[in-house]
Structure 1
Amino acid sequence: MAEREDIDQFDRKILALLQADARLTNNDLSERVNLSPSQCSRRRQRLEESGAIKGYRAVLDRDRLGFPLVNVISVTLATHNRDNARRFGELLARLPEVQEAHALTGEMDYILKVVTPDLKSLSDFVNGVLLPHEAVQHVKTAIVLETLKETGELPLAGS
């Protein structure tokens, strides 16, 4: 379990503002949280150094960039041991179309969120990459028809 960062309400507000728009300057933050730009700069730097802020990135439009299909794929491993799980994890790390991968309790071992340009690419991914892998026993695929909500923002209460 990760250590929880000791942050106050000013930090929470800064984090909430930055996760909504990472391009905000320290002057922008200063106006919104009622601290000086230098205080905002110090707080931001501390949050970055502590790992509370892991990085900054642009949110890209999947459809415009040629990845309109979102697929949810459940995977069951052939055997349940650390070596098999490690090999499967190494495979996933090499696959840029896998946007999320979660180990689960229950019937399935993993659930993946995978983006593809079309059905043929999805078929190639499942039949040519996942199923032939020695760690994989079973794959079940679902195509997302509509995304009702998608966010990477944390619910920073009190921000």
Structure 2
Amino acid sequence: MMDQIDTQLLNLLQRKGNATAQELADTLGLSASQIGRRRQRLEDSGVIRTYRAQLAPERVGLTVQAFVQVQLARHGAEQGRSFDQMLRTRDEITSAWTMTGEADYLLRVWCEDLPALNRLIHEVLLAHPTVARVHSQIVMGQSKADAPLPVR
């Protein structure tokens, strides 16, 4: 069970994952040791999965973001495993979801430029034996940044 302090702690950590126990304690009005125990419990229970640095894509040479819909030709277990395995080998595919509707997968992709996106689509995705169709949409701008989960 999580209480209101746990919820506040999670919201703070989603916004600043590298906050020290003392910084969190000062904000929440608890001791650093209490915060440390709470954070450890949330990590051990799997509520907190990991901590990451959020990079500025343009500062690391990534100028093209796209969402790519993939429709598979066949939907057997082996084809799904094969496609999923390929996804895990491609660093430029930063996330992938299986979907209902026309597309079987939705991929979030970051590439250094348009030719790199073109190579990914034609030489990797369309070349995969189970892929029937690919539809890409290039991101022009992001109206809302990736937000923390709405923990209440």
* 1:131 corresponds to 2:126: yes
- SS where residue 43 of structure 1 aligns? helix
- SS where residue 155 of structure 1 aligns? coil
Aligned AA for 1:150?
A
Within the candidate set 98, 103, 112, 1:108 is matched to: 103
Structure 1: runs of 5 or more not aligned: 1-5
Q: How far did 1:150 drift?
A: 2.3
State the 4+ residue runs in structure 1 displaced beyond 4 angstroms: none
Aligned AA for 2:124?
V
* 1:80 corresponds to 2:75: yes
Task: Give the equivalent residue in structure 1 for 2:86.
Answer: 91
Aligned AA for 1:51?
G
- Superposed, 1:36-75 pairs within 5 Å as 36-75=31-70
Q: How far did 1:26 drift?
A: 0.9
Q: How far did 1:41 drift?
A: 0.6
**1:84-103 superposed Cα distances (whole Å, 9 cap, x missing partner):** 11111111011110111010
- SS where residue 64 of structure 1 aligns? helix
- State the distance in 2 between where 1:123 and 1:50 align: 42
- SS where residue 121 of structure 2 aligns? helix
Aligned AA for 1:96?
D
RMSD after superposition: 1.0
Q: Give the alignment's TM-score, normalised by structure 1.
A: 0.92
- SS where residue 56 of structure 1 aligns? coil
- State the distance in 2 between where 1:22 and 1:146 align: 25
Task: Give the equivalent residue in structure 2 for 1:3.
Answer: none
The percent of aligned pairs where both chains have the same amino acid is 39
* 1:121 corresponds to 2:116: yes
Task: Give the equivalent residue in structure 2 for 1:14.
Answer: 9
- State the distance in 2 between where 1:150 and 1:113 align: 14
Task: Give the equivalent residue in structure 1 for 2:138.
Answer: 143
Aligned residues: 152
- SS where residue 138 of structure 1 aligns? strand
Aligned AA for 1:110?
Y
